[in-house]
Structure 1
Amino acid sequence: MALKHSHPLEVIDLHAMDHSQGTAVSSSLLKTPHLQLMRVVLAAGQSLPEHHVPGEITVQCLSGEADVATPSRTCRLVPGCLVMLPAAEPHCVQAHRDTVLLVTMLHH
């Protein structure tokens, strides 16, 4: 089954819940040939292992608190903060509290 992605000019609820579980879930919200938006939900203490993506990305904290770490720097994100990562930059994410992140990826 294909993921349901939003369409241009469709309003996206960044705080949408999985009504069957009563919790927010990670999901791909929008995908075009040049852009992808993802909502990443991490429980306190949960992490994403080091990885990289081909294009530039931004990681914005919607709620909670998390570190985005690269080989050269660690950035603490709290609600309202974002960080931009260059293309192919290795990074990992560590949630300190239950966290929701909005990740924007540019595709070439």
Structure 2
Amino acid sequence: MALLHASPAEAIDVTPYGARLGSARTYALFKADDMEVIRVVLHAGQSLPPHHVPGSVSLHCLEGCFEVLLGQSVRQLERGQLMHIPPNMPHAVRAIEDSSALVTIVLCQS
């Protein structure tokens, strides 16, 4: 089943899930020519493996707490905090507790 993305100028609810976080899943909110926004949900101990993307990334923790591995350093990202990840920077993300975040990826134009 294909996921539906929001239409241009459509309001999207990104409030924290709260008690519903345990059953929530990751999904793409929208994708445009120049950017993509994803609501990432990771449960305690789950992770995204090391990777990199050609464009800048912002990671905005909506609830919970993440460990973000940037190169050889580990940083903690807590509820309400935002982190910029530069283009091509290797990174990985692990949920310390059930967590959700907004991830914005700048898509490089060819």
TM-score, normalised via structure 1 length: 0.88
Change (3 A) 1:16 1:3: farther
| Alignment-derived partner of residue 35 in structure 1 | 35
Instruction: Spell out structure 1 runs of 4+ moving beyond 6 A.
Output: none
User: What stretches of structure 1 of length at least 5 have no aligned partner?
Assistant: none
- Structure 1 vs Structure 2: percent identity of aligned residues? 41
| Alignment-derived partner of residue 96 in structure 2 | 96
Determine if contact 1:16/1:24 at 8 Å carries over to the other structure.
Answer: no
Amino acid at match of 2:44: A
Is it true that 1:50 corresponds to 2:68 in the alignment? no
Is it true that 1:84 corresponds to 2:78 in the alignment? no
Determine if contact 1:28/1:37 at 8 Å carries over to the other structure.
Answer: yes
Amino acid at match of 1:83: M
Q: Which moved more, 1:2-11 or 1:95-104?
A: 2-11
**How far, CA to CA, are the matches of 1:69 and 1:32 in structure 2?**
27
SS at match of 1:103: strand
Q: Please state how far the C-alpha of 1:85 moved relative to its aligned partner.
A: 0.6
**How far, CA to CA, are the matches of 1:73 and 1:11 in structure 2?**
36
Determine if contact 1:15/1:24 at 8 Å carries over to the other structure.
Answer: no
Q: Name whichever structure is richer in helix by fraction.
A: 2
Amino acid at match of 1:107: L
